[in-house]
Chain A
Amino acid sequence: MEVAREREATYDWWLFGVTVFLILLGVGVVLDTSFARALQGQQDEWAMSKRQGMWAVIALITLGMSMRTPYYRLRKYWFVGLMIAVVLLALVLIPGIGTKVNGARRWIKFGPVLFQPSEFAKIVLVFCLAAYSEICKGQIRKFFKGLLPALLVVFAISVLVAKEDLGTSITIMTTGLLMLFMMGARPAHMFGLILLAGAGGVVAILVEPFRMERIWAWLDPLNHATGVGYQPAQGLIALGSGGVWGKGIGRGVAKHMYLPAEHTDYIFATIGEEAGLMGCLALVGVFAFLVIRGLTVAHRSKDRFGSLIAAGLTCIIGVQAMLNIAVVTALVPCTGVPLPFISYGGSSLVFTTLAVGIILSVSQHSDYGIKEARQSRESPADRRGHRRAHLSRPQRRPATDP
């Protein structure tokens, strides 16, 4: 007798496709900018592209492996992961251990590989908050009993990261607040916290002088163009000179010595110059699509833990992308986060892809127990569920038929 069965949980192939597309696009864009560097005589023209290509391969492998791993197996490690993240974040601040790149000490060097603990911490934090959602037994509406512990953790991580990487700190703070809101925290509490975070941001800026200068640069970049406003000004010029359709791929001028970080934090400006407004909108559209797919996975998941994981990881990617684009378009003063998938850099690429892999794992595995039960249903011991035990040991004899 055939009866209807609801759709089983399956991989979200749209999300998979978008991610692979973005990874490959990233390699292509880096290829584009690497030529500029080569012409400057800095290095072999293929060097950056080869590195990015290698990272792309590693990312794709990571994607495949993490998709297939049932995400809920990681649930028990949330505390251990948090401890490791905190330790690594502390270590990276120590001059002997952490490495500076472009003036920011965010990396730990393992041989030829630069690893960024904040990337790891972002993912761990999402897991921790999702696990906390169950541990707190629905008390999240209460400030002291439910919300505060989670807030302290988010705050602690943000502070550890903020010294060297304000942009990622903002991403973490925003994602944390969004997740707490999704977990059911009171809007009144959240609003108060946003004000607090804003105040914290102001303090962070005042504390480091270079950030104050960046505020001036942001407010009026073109008048500061020869000083601290150089980068934002060049970014705006590059974007603007692209017009609606762009100068053409490969024909950008800014990357040739004018625009700093044209291949990392400011890569969006390079794209803007070469592909124009249309290219930028298309790219924004692709990121929007990725965020929509991620949130769809979260919505469809019947597992609350998986749902929160998917939503939180989507937030990380989405918020980071928005922040990067906002900086390049001078909507927000310089903080400097990479554009996910596109910016040159292996650590960011692999961890961002890992996040997508976990979201895909949620899309496939959130109905745990159902698929396995289907397979084991052939065993006759299961077919009739109602057997009353005689209380004699050890043999459990079924007392009756239905």
Chain B
Amino acid sequence: MSLFSGKRIAVIGAAATGRAAAPVLARQGARVTVYDDRSAEELGEAVTALRDFAELSLGDPHYPGIEACDLVVPSPGVPADAPVLRAAVERGTPVLSEIEIAYRIARAPIVAVTGTNGKTTTVLMVAGILKAAGRETQVAGNTLAGGFQVPLIQAAETMPVTGWIVSEISSFQLEWVREFRPKIGVITNITADHLNRHGTVDAYVAAKAHLLDAQTAQEWTVLNLDNPATAGLMGRSQGRLLRFGRQPHPFEGTWPEAVDGRRWLRGRVDGRVLDLAPADELRVPGEHTVENALAAAAVALAAGCAPEEIRRGLAEFPGVPDRLEHVSTINGVEYVNNTMCTNVDAAVRSVEAYDRPVVLIAGGRDKGLDFDPLGRVIAERVKLLVAIGVDGPLIAESARRHGFDRIRTADSMREAVRAAAQGAAEGDVVLLAPACASFDWYRSFEARGQDFKAEVARLAAETNQ
């Protein structure tokens, strides 16, 4: 008998999470009602399929009938302090997120990756290594795998006990967990992003830490030694700790080290030190890539992979679209799309990834962050800054404060790409690393990336004539 059998469950939100959770819960024998305060017309066709196995309550912000439900499953888009959830808590109704339910029904072990930056790359690297080791693997969560997004609850339902689920988890999903216990939990780093939602850094750290709260000595926790926030969580974890860092360390975990003149990723587990993979075999440049690889290698060690398998998996990793994605080379200038970079820290690291001169296109809609570190790096390393978007001027301002004045402003991506091309010489890199959200000009950051690539293609076509 499933623990959801016959229970009345309210799923709040008819987007990707709700639409994945509703059928899974229905299959477990629950009576599901999907709530959304958008109307049926707004939601469109995708929602009509839900009627076959769930009740739908759309367009009513009072959520009628929710008091009668035995369990509430909110989508991550619903804020934690929303009245409907507070009321449920007061009534004593359990509120559980999709990932909690996924954990309860999953048979396969889960690798859960969270953190401010590097989640997707780490997830895909881990999946690549596990596949190279011959394990049946499913990538889940926000990371797209082969163009599809597979919500964790869906992977949990379908994967057999011999498989592995590798999932990116967000701090929103972690707000409503109780027993969620990944076999291997990873926090890549915690930096000041998303401040406008979580209010303070402490609240943000607390949310991410839920990932490891239920872990026991049977599970593994992978944490970043160099990041103050994650390092601070090491005492909190009851799982077996694996640390990764930029310098060799005496603990179980991974680090980079020069071996016979070549930089290797090395690991220690059960007292043995192993050479895992040479850093130069990674296809994507940058120190942050090495960090992601170290985290992925630590996960692979916990999962019982052999060094050759780790090496093969990492060497075959092609990189992630929209993250330092090579677009093309025109007249010896490399054009790189890093539209995924939506916070300052990511932008700083992507600029630092290159030791060639960088022409930086940055700006968009500010998220309330401090651009000063970016301004400093621009002054130190960037050849030319092309500021775009509503808040591009804020970045320009920050750069000026550090004595930088090679700045141009553009009102469109086309203008920006042309301006960048003018300012770049052979051997340089034109890098789109906006450090901001895309919603001032675009529907999504992917759309921004697509536009950049289109403009680069247009430029290439014109150049060849």
Contact = CB atoms under 8 A, between A and B. Distances in A.
B163 A401 contact: no
Interface stretch (B146-154, B271-279, B326-334, B408-416): B146-154
A305 B151 CA distance: 23
A369 B138 contact: no
Given A4-B136, A138-B1, A385-B16, A372 B27 contact: no
A3 B127 contact: yes
A372 B148 CA distance: 12
B197 A402 contact: no
Given A4-B136, A304-B29, A370-B154, A382 B5 contact: no
A285 B147 CA distance: 46
A152 to B, nearest CB: 19
A189 to B, nearest CB: 16
Contacts of A369: 19-20, 22-24, 26, 49-50, 53
A4 B138 contact: yes
A401 B342 contact: yes
B196 A383 contact: no
Interface string A229-258: 000000000000000000000000000000
B200 interface: no
A8 to B, nearest CB: 9
A73 B52 contact: yes
Contact of B342 (A6, A366, A400): A400
Interface stretch (B260-268, B388-396, B417-425, B437-445): B437-445
A388 B19 contact: no
A211 B424 CA distance: 101
A142 interface: no
Given A70-B52, A385-B17, A380 B447 contact: yes
A400 B447 CA distance: 14
Given A373-B20, A388-B197, A396-B38, A3 B149 contact: no
Interface in A269-290: none
Interface string B1-43: 1100111000000011101101110111111000000100000
A373 B124 contact: no
Contacts of A306: 27
Interface string B223-265: 0000000000000000000000000000000000000000000
Contacts of A181: none
A379 interface: yes
Interface residues of A, number: 50
B342 A72 contact: no
A382 to B, nearest CB: 5
A73 B342 CA distance: 44
B149 A383 contact: yes
Contacts of A1: 124, 127-128, 139, 145-146, 318
Given A1-B318, A303-B26, A304-B2, A383 B127 contact: no
B23 A385 contact: no
Interface string B136-169: 1111001011111101001001111001000000
A50 interface: no
Nearest to B447: A380
Contacts of A388: 77, 79, 172, 197
Contacts of B29: 133-134, 304-305
Interface in A70-98: 70, 72-73, 75
A91 to B, nearest CB: 32
A5 B146 CA distance: 11
A10 to B, nearest CB: 13
Nearest to A304: B29
A380 B444 contact: yes
Given A381-B15, A400-B196, A3 B79 contact: no
Contacts of B437: 400-401
Contacts of A367: 23, 158
A135 interface: yes
A6 B26 contact: no
Nearest to A371: B49
Interface residues of B, number: 71
B264 to A, nearest CB: 25
B211 to A, nearest CB: 16
Contacts of A397: 439
Contacts of B340: 402
Nearest to B154: A370
B139 A400 contact: no
A311 to B, nearest CB: 14
Contacts of A389: 77-79
A128 to B, nearest CB: 15
Contacts of B318: 1
Interface in A295-319: 302-306
Contacts of B376: none
Contacts of A70: 52
Contact of A304 (B15, B27, B438): B27
Nearest to A4: B136
A382 B196 CA distance: 22
Nearest to B45: A376
Contact of A385 (B28, B77, B147, B367): B77
B349 interface: no
Nearest to A130: B29
Nearest to B117: A402
Contacts of A72: 26, 52-53
B131 interface: yes
B170 interface: yes
A315 B236 CA distance: 54
B446 interface: yes
B284 to A, nearest CB: 13
17 contacts: A1-B128, A1-B139, A3-B127, A4-B136, A5-B158, A72-B53, A133-B29, A134-B30, A304-B2, A305-B29, A368-B23, A376-B46, A385-B15, A385-B75, A388-B197, A402-B170, A402-B342
Interface of A: 1-6, 70, 72-73, 75, 133-138, 184, 302-306, 366-370, 372-374, 376-377, 379-389, 396-402
Interface of B: 1-2, 5-7, 15-17, 19-20, 22-24, 26-31, 38, 45-46, 49-50, 52-53, 75-79, 124, 127-128, 131, 136-139, 142, 144-149, 151, 154, 157-160, 163, 170, 172-173, 194, 196-197, 318, 340, 342, 367, 437-439, 443-447
Question: Which 7 A-B residue pairings sit nearest by Cβ, starting from the closest?
Answer: A369-B23, A137-B6, A401-B342, A303-B27, A385-B16, A6-B158, A304-B29
